[in-house]
Amino acid sequence: MLFRNIIAPLGVCLSIATPVFAADLVEVPPPAAPTWTIGIEGSPEFYAINNGSNTARSLADTYFKFSVSHNFDNNFVGGVFFQPTFKTGGKSQFYGEASLGYKIKLTDAFTLTPSLGLGYTWHDTGIIKGGDANAQVPYYALYLAGDWKLTKQWTWNVFNVRYRNAFNTTWETPKVATGVTYNIDSTNAVYANVGYSWKKTDTTSAPYKDLSADKLNIAIGYKHSL
C-alpha cells in the first residue's frame, strides 16, 4: 500500500514532464541569412603611363565609394553606389550608379555574376575634350565577376571585369580587377583588390584617341550585412 502511494504521484509527475522535455528537443531553425549589405571602399589611383601632362605611377586621384546592395530570393542582386573622386590639382568628379545582376553558381565554390549598371557622372569630368570640362554625362556599364570561396572565411575574387561607356559621347573605360575577401563573421567582411583600367575619349590627340592604358589602383573596403 505504501509502495503504491509513492509510485502513483511519481507517474503523474513523469507524464507532465515528458511533453516539456520533448519540446526542449525541438530544433530551432537557424536565423535567416542577411539580405542587405552596406559598404565603404577607398583607393588611390595612379597613372598607368605617361600621358603628356602626367607621369606614370604618379597619383591621379583618390576615391571613396559608398554602396548599398540587396540579395533577392531568386538569385538576383541589386545595388546603388555614390562615389566622390578627388583629383590632384583640386578638381573633383562624382559618380552615382544603380545596377542589377544575377548570381550563377557554377560549382559549390565558384560563382559567376554578370550585371548591368546605369549611372551618371558630373562636375570636373573632363570627358568631352575641347568642350565643357564639367559636362554631365549619363553612362552604362557591363560587369562580370567571378568569385571562388576557398574556405568559410576566405574568398578569392578571381576577376571583376567592367566595360563602361557614355550614351552621348565616347568615354570607353574598361577595367579588370582581382582581390580577396576575408569574412570576419556572418555579417562583417573586409576586402582588398588591385585594378587596371584603360580609356578612350572623343579627343583627337594621343594617347586617348585610341583605347590606351589609363590608371592602376589598390583598394580596401569594409562590408556589413543585415
pLDDT tens digit sequence for 177-210: 999 999 999 999 999 999 999 999 887 677 888 9
Q: How many of the other CB atoms lie within 10 Å of CB of 217?
A: 20
- CATH entry, 34-225, from 3.40.50.1820, 3.40.50.11810, 3.40.50.1380, 2.40.128.130: 2.40.128.130
Amino acid (1-letter code) at residue 57: R
Prediction pTM value: 0.85
Residue 172, all three cell numbers = 570607353
Using the structure block, give the residue that is written with the C-alpha cell 535567416. 32
* Percent of the chain clearing pLDDT 90 (strictly above): 73
* Rounded Cα distance, 90 and 74, in Å: 45
The 8-class DSSP code of residue 5 comes to H
> Under a CB-based contact definition with an 8 Å cutoff, are residues 192 and 218 in contact?
yes
Task: Please tell me the predicted confidence (pLDDT) of residue 2.
Answer: 43
For the chain, give the mean pLDDT.
89
Alpha helix (H) residue ranges in 133-226 = none
State the number of CA atoms in the 13 A half-sphere of 10 facing the CB.
5
CA 20 to chain centre: 47
* Percent of the chain clearing pLDDT 70 (strictly above): 86
Is the previous residue joined to 34 through a cis bond, with omega within 30 degrees of 0? no
> Under a CB-based contact definition with an 8 Å cutoff, are residues 60 and 50 in contact?
no
Amino acid (1-letter code) at residue 98: A
> Under a CB-based contact definition with an 8 Å cutoff, are residues 143 and 151 in contact?
no
| Share in percent of the chain as helix, strand, coil (round to 5) | 10, 55, 35
Regions of the chain where pLDDT drops below 70: 1-26, 129-132, 204
